[in-house]
Structure 1
Amino acid sequence: MSYDDDANMEYIENRPFDEIDVGDHAELVRTLTAQDIDAFAVVSGDVNPSHVDQEFAQGDIFHRVIAHGMWGGALISNVLGTRLPGPGTIYLNQSLKFLKPVGVGDTVTVRVTVVGKDVEKKRLTLDCLCSIGEGEPVITGQAEVIAPDKKIRRPRVAMPDLVMHRKGATFDRLLAAAQEAPPLSTAIVHPCDKTSLEGAILTRDLDLVAPILVGPRARIEATAREAGFDLTGFEIIDTPHSHASAERAVELVRQGRARALMKGALHTDEIMSAAVSKTKGLRSERRMSHIYVMDVPTYPKPLLITDAAINIAPDLQTKADIVQNAIDLARAIGIETPKVAILSAVETITPRLQSTVEAGALCKMADRGQITGGLLDGPLAFDNAISMRAVASKGIISEVAGQADILVAPDLEAGNMIAKQLMYLAGAEAAGIVLGAQVPIMLTSRADDSRTRVASAAIAALFNQATRP
């Protein structure tokens, strides 16, 4: 008799010893994915490069990434514990012989067949076979179990969702793309602490930027000595204090010597005051705004959030510039047609809630060509913007809802809280820049580590490459 139960059944049920005959069998079919390999490596701790390192595996004996041998053994355990005999089974012994590797995309059929019964001890002996293709064996073996002596039928337990996320993978892809462009000439504004100076050195060593250090020479050199950094080859422009550093860095841009700014050990308002000066700043026809590029473990793609740092309570025209800046950045980092969700507390236009009215107006502006390059929808509540489940439950029909690339917050407070919650509650990594000036401004926090500064530099380099004449 065959017990090839559907793994998606609502209940899980066993086969007591007395109901099982020699020759009975059960099987399951599973196609190996890269995520299966990663999950098994995480749980077992087995990070043998044959399983997790594509470059290494290409030069290994099998010339491809292969599954851990015990992944197949775990599938045998699955059949024994859930199908034949099923719940209540006690594993006593298992022999396995590994005949051939299993690679990503291989479909494995796992079959256990009863070949012996010990009535006195309630034990079963089962032949175990894992095969691929037209029945080619990859694992063979034999199991000995104690079968349950009574019927068990239980609701199938809903297991938690497994989210596999390689920390930094999104930013690593951006870094690789940015390194294909020439280094971006960048004025590093007041790099007078270890973190900002290390960021300048690291981004130079990665061929992302060609840095010009702008700040008090004595303090920069003292910081380098204390940290053990070598400043050989760096251009240093000496300034007396942080305000002068910001003004001189902006002047370098106006002279064409720098194509970007990176904030060092000074307050945000100092560098932005110099940048927004009406006479000596870096204003353009568009309002400046800040965009976070976030790598969120529970979201399947990069997520841009704006504005969380510059515009406190933007009006409609400012929001239009905020949206356009974000679209331009999204396209520069490889999102061909960004999906833009204009956020509010609800998904319907409500005159008493100004953010919903402005969301509707922004969408109409996009229809009329006043905002270009992306798909806009709004107002959308946060859940409707990023969750297809929420979209389905509310019956929303939209090309943007549930799959947004860009979240446009109604004001700075909301944007800042969304970004910080994702960082501290969801483990998101964040990098960001200010756009709308004549050049991108890497507005990193003094608390940001060098990795964040590298990611911000990569984003700025990609934007510069995409927008340069």
Structure 2
Amino acid sequence: MIKTFEEVVKRAESLPPVTVAVAAAADDDVLKAVKDAKQHGIADFLLFGDREKILELAGKVGLDVSPSAIVDAPNEAEASRLAVAAVREGKADVVMKGMVQTADFLRAVLNKEAGLRTGKVLSHVATFEIPGYDRLIHVTDPALNVAPTLPEKAQIIENVLGYCHSLGNDNPKVAVLGAVEVVNPNMQPTLDAAALAQMNRRGQIKGGIVDGPFALDNAVSVEAAEHKKISSPVAGVADVLLVPDIEAGNILYKSLVYFAGAKIGALVLGASAPVVLTSRADSPEAKLYSIALAVLQAAAKKGA
């Protein structure tokens, strides 16, 4: 099982490189990540956006890019549309968000006629390497689904279980988070957690172990779980944290980055191809890790 981002990159290096279509690529940090990924030999790139600006910034960061790998686009929305089209047409394997508003980028990805929909719920996963932890922790969904319903949460779990499998974790443990670790009829997240756990036990959600509700401490700390006498194969050792809504997920995401100094990579799951969706404020390192995660996802889709 892959436990660090160094291992993620090494695994990506062992696979055939994929082609990544980058929407609105005219950004220093995006092009630094492109340069790093090319140096690791994990991906080739098609860059969409302002051709002159991309060439200018590529020279600034020391990226050697062929003009034939750049597709000129008049604005960010068109760059996103063209990048998604490249994936649909088989010219690229992965689409990546560059310096573009998330809403514009996702509008292209989610377009019913020209996007990458599959009929599944699309969900965001953020993977963290946290100082002091012996494994990667996956938080879903901190950026896409605002207030997922019970059926949507079930599909979000199915998405992330497949994602964990691509990282070598054949039996991931999913903790469904809430404010408390007991079922409270007045707290809908705890009711959803109990239902999802039962769906897993009955084989409606397959590919891992799902349990809850858990407060955060009981999900990631064996000591906290034992102190509260919680008996569960997930308690204290969760690989995946399913958050109840986007507010909780966003706060947890940013707390891990800014307070805990966690390394991060992030993708959108459930589309017909891997989608790299990072914050515009994320570092080149985070963008590189996201590209490497997408390479593993692309390989899993191809059966590599």
Specify the TM-score bucket, using the shorter chain as the normaliser. over 0.9
Of 400, 405, 413, 2:239 maps to 405
The answer on whether the counterparts of 2:5 and 2:289 sit within 8 Å (CA) in structure 1 is: yes
Determine the structure 1 residue equivalent to 2:260. Answer: 426
Which of 201, 208, 212 matches 1:374? 208
Match of 1:270, SS state, is helix
How many residue pairs match? The answer is 301
The correspondence for 1:396, drawn from 230, 235, 239, is 230
2:83 to 232, 245, 249: 249
Deviations along 1:257-308, one digit per CA (max 9) or x if unpaired, are 1111111111111110111111211111211111111001122211001111
Equivalents in 1 of 2:22, 2:227: separation in Å?
49
The letter of the residue matching 2:302 is R
Counterpart check, 1:207 vs 2:46: no
Out of 145, 152, 173, the position equivalent to 2:7 is 173
Q: What's the CA shift for 1:383?
A: 0.7
Rounded to whole Å, the distance in 2 between the matches of 1:343 and 1:394 is 16
Q: Deviations over 1:198-229 (max 9, x none)?
A: 21222122111111111121221222234443
Give the C-alpha shift of residue 388 in structure 1: 0.9
Q: Report the residue type matching 2:125 in the other structure.
A: I
Structure 1 residue aligned with 2:152: 318
CA deviations over 1:141-199 (Å, ceiling 9, x no partner): xxxxxxxxxxxxxxxxxxxxxxxxxxxx8111111011111111110111111111221
Tell whether 2:294 aligns with 1:456. no
| Structure 2 CA distance for aligned equivalents of residues 192 and 394 of structure 1 | 51
Q: Does 1:440 pair with 2:294?
A: no
2:169 is aligned with 1:327: no
Instruction: Report matched runs for 1:59-74 at 5 Å.
Output: none
**Given the alignment, which residue of 232, 252, 259 partners 2:93?**
259
Distance 1:286 1:457 in 2: 22
Q: CA deviation at 1:467?
A: 2.4
**Equivalent residues in 2 for 1:53-202, closer than 5 Å:** 170-202=4-36
Partner of 1:468: 302
Structure number with greater Rg is 1
Task: Tell whether the 8 Å contact from 2:31 to 2:61 is kept in structure 1 after alignment.
Answer: no
Q: Which runs of 5+ in 1 are unaligned?
A: 1-168
User: Which residue number corresponds to residue 270 of structure 1?
Assistant: 104
The residue aligned with 1:33 is none
Which whole-Å CA distance do the structure 2 matches of 1:220 and 1:388 have between them? 49
Distance 1:233 1:181 in 2: 26
Kept in 1, the 8 Å contact 2:178–2:243? The answer is yes
SS at match of 1:278: coil
Please say if 1:223 is aligned against 2:67.
Answer: no
Structure 2 counterparts to residues 351-390 of structure 1, below 5 A:
351-390=185-224
Q: 1:329, CA displacement in angstroms?
A: 1.1
CA contact (8 A) 2:161 2:172 kept: yes
1:35-54 residue CA offsets vs partner (Å, 9 max, x unmatched): xxxxxxxxxxxxxxxxxxxx
The code of the aligned residue for 2:64 comes to D
- 2:77–2:104 Cα contact (<8 Å) kept: yes
**Structure 2 CA distance for aligned equivalents of residues 379 and 467 of structure 1:** 32
Q: Is the 8 A contact 1:188 1:200 kept in 2?
A: no
Which residue, out of 162, 179, 182, partners 1:345? 179
- Structure number with higher helix proportion: 2
Q: Percent identity?
A: 39
Structure with the bigger RCO (C-alpha within 8 Å, sep 6+) is: 2
Other-structure match for 2:128: 294
Contact 1:384/1:391 (8 A) holds in 2: yes
Cα displacement (A) at 1:466 = 1.7
Query: What's the CA shift string for 1:343-401, capped at 9, x where partnerless?
Result: 00111111110001111111122223322111011111111101111111111110001
Residue aligning to 2:74: 240
Instruction: Measure, in 1, the Cα distance between the counterparts of 2:103 and 2:43.
Output: 24
Distance 1:234 1:338 in 2: 42
Secondary structure (helix, strand or coil) at the match of 1:410 reads: coil
Amino acid at match of 2:77: H
1-side partners of 2:205 and 2:302: how far apart? Answer: 20
Q: Which amino acid aligns with 1:244?
A: E
Contact map agreement 1:211 1:234 (CA 8 A) in 2: no
Please tell me the root mean square deviation across aligned C-alpha atoms, in Å.
1.4
CA–CA separation in structure 1 for the residues paired with 2:235 and 2:68: 47
CA distance in 1, matches of 2:14, 2:294: 13
C-alpha contact (below 8 Å) 2:180/2:215 kept by paired residues: yes
Is the 1:213–1:234 contact (alpha carbons within 8 Å) kept by the matching residues of 2? no
Letter in 1 for 2:218: N
3-state SS of paired residue (1:188): strand
Name stretches of at least 5 consecutive residues in structure 2 with no aligned partner. none
- Counterpart Cα distance in 1 of 2:211 and 2:61: 49
Where 1:294 maps in the other structure, the secondary structure is strand
CA contact (8 A) 2:161 2:207 kept: yes
TM-score (norm 1): 0.62
- In structure 2, what is the equivalent of residue 68 of structure 1? none
Shift of residue 233, structure 1, vs aligned partner: 7.0
In the alignment, which of 225, 248, 257 is matched to residue 414 of structure 1? 248
